[in-house]
Amino acid sequence: MAREDTPLDQETFDKVLADELAKGTDRRVAEGRARSAAVRAYRAAHGEPAPSAAAAPTDGAASGDGGQAPAVPAATPAAAPAAAAAAAAAPAPGGTTAVATMPAPQAPAPTGNVPEPKKGAPEKHRLLALVPPEGIQRVEREQGDRINVWPHLLIEEFIALLVVLAGLTIFSTLVNAPLRELANPNLTPNPSKAPWYFLGLQELLRYFHPMVAGVVFAPTLVLLALAVVPFVDRNPSIKPGDRKLAITLFTMLMMFGATLTIIGSFFRGTGYNWVWPWAQGVFFDL
């Protein structure tokens, strides 16, 4: 779209431009205001619809396709408000002070139906969104020192993946997973142990009454306590120096769990009694 194609009223243009410049307005802004006033004046004089005050209420309510407006003047009033905006004036940067010289065309009352496409309308459509400054969400974030994920991170991830896959494959070639004799509900093996990640709990049940260990410790203290950690720890700092209590407590919990698991795995033998793994052997299956 060429701006020069838009017909405008030269007299109005000159007059408004002189007025604005006399007021001390910046030349660029003054030209814009003069141009928009001139276009309105031209349209008013030639019986074309003026831009609707409702459709263009804010500053800078410029249309993206103002240059096409003269080509489809008659169809505009019947169209939806968006189309009226499309037929609006040429770009008017800065505050538009000129008043619309014709009453706004009435948009058809909403019927609830899907609007019909305009006859002869181009296949492509352009939409211009007008966003008032207060509608923009401002994100306060430092740009920081940022790098491209490809290739830096992806190569690192790929290497980590290959290392783990190679390790897992080699280990699986060398060490067979256990498969004992067929399940027999009438023959309890000695000792009977849970999978290793439950052995800490099984060990705990050695020391406490089941109501304490099974109820209080396992589901409540671990699942719930872990889940509510972010809502209990209100310390906003992530510096390890500021988080001595949190780190100490968590490390103690992890060490507690790891110790119990190791004891349950390697230091418990026949009858779930204490054994020294180097003396009596290991009673443990993965």
Partner 1 sequence: MKVKLPTPSEALDRVRETEVWKSIFRPGSIFRRGYKDTSRDRALATMNNVLYHLHPVKMKRHGLKLTYTFCLGGLSFFLFIVLTITGIFLMFFYRPAAELGSAAAYTDMQNIRTSVFFGDLVRNMHRWGAHLMVLSVTLHMARVFYTGSYKPPREFNWVIGVLLLFLTLGLSFTGYLLPWDQLSIWAVTVGTSLGGYAPFIAKQTNFLLLGGVVVGPDTLLRWYVLHVLALPFVLVIFLSVHFWRIRKDGGISGPL
By CB under 8 A, is residue 271 in contact with partner 1? Answer: no
Residues 200/261, Cβ–Cβ less than 8 Å: yes
By CB under 8 A, is residue 109 in contact with partner 1? Answer: no
By CB under 8 A, is residue 245 in contact with partner 1? Answer: no
Q: Which of 2, 110, 133, 231 binds partner 1 (CB under 8 A)?
A: 231
C-beta of 15: minimal distance to partner 1 in Å? 49
Q: Which two tokens stand for residue 155?
A: 């190569």
Q: Over 7-33, what HEC string results?
A: CCCHHHHHHHHHHHHHCCCCHHHHHHH
C-beta of 232: minimal distance to partner 1 in Å? 10
State the Cα–Cα distance between residues 264 and 286, nearest whole angstrom. Answer: 13
Residues 130/95, Cβ–Cβ less than 8 Å: no
Give the number of other CB atoms < 10 A from CB of residue 135: 8
By CB under 8 A, is residue 157 in contact with partner 1? Answer: yes
By CB under 8 A, is residue 131 in contact with partner 1? Answer: no
Q: Which of 160, 166, 252, 282 binds partner 1 (CB under 8 A)?
A: 160
By CB under 8 A, is residue 137 in contact with partner 1? Answer: no
Name the 3-class secondary structure at 281.
coil
By CB under 8 A, is residue 248 in contact with partner 1? Answer: no
Q: Which of the ranges 96-104, 113-121, 125-133, 165-173 carries the binding residues for partner 1, by CB under 8 A?
A: 165-173
Q: Which of the ranges 36-44, 88-96, 126-134, 234-242 carries the binding residues for partner 1, by CB under 8 A?
A: 234-242
- Euclidean distance between the first and final Cα of the chain, in Å? 74
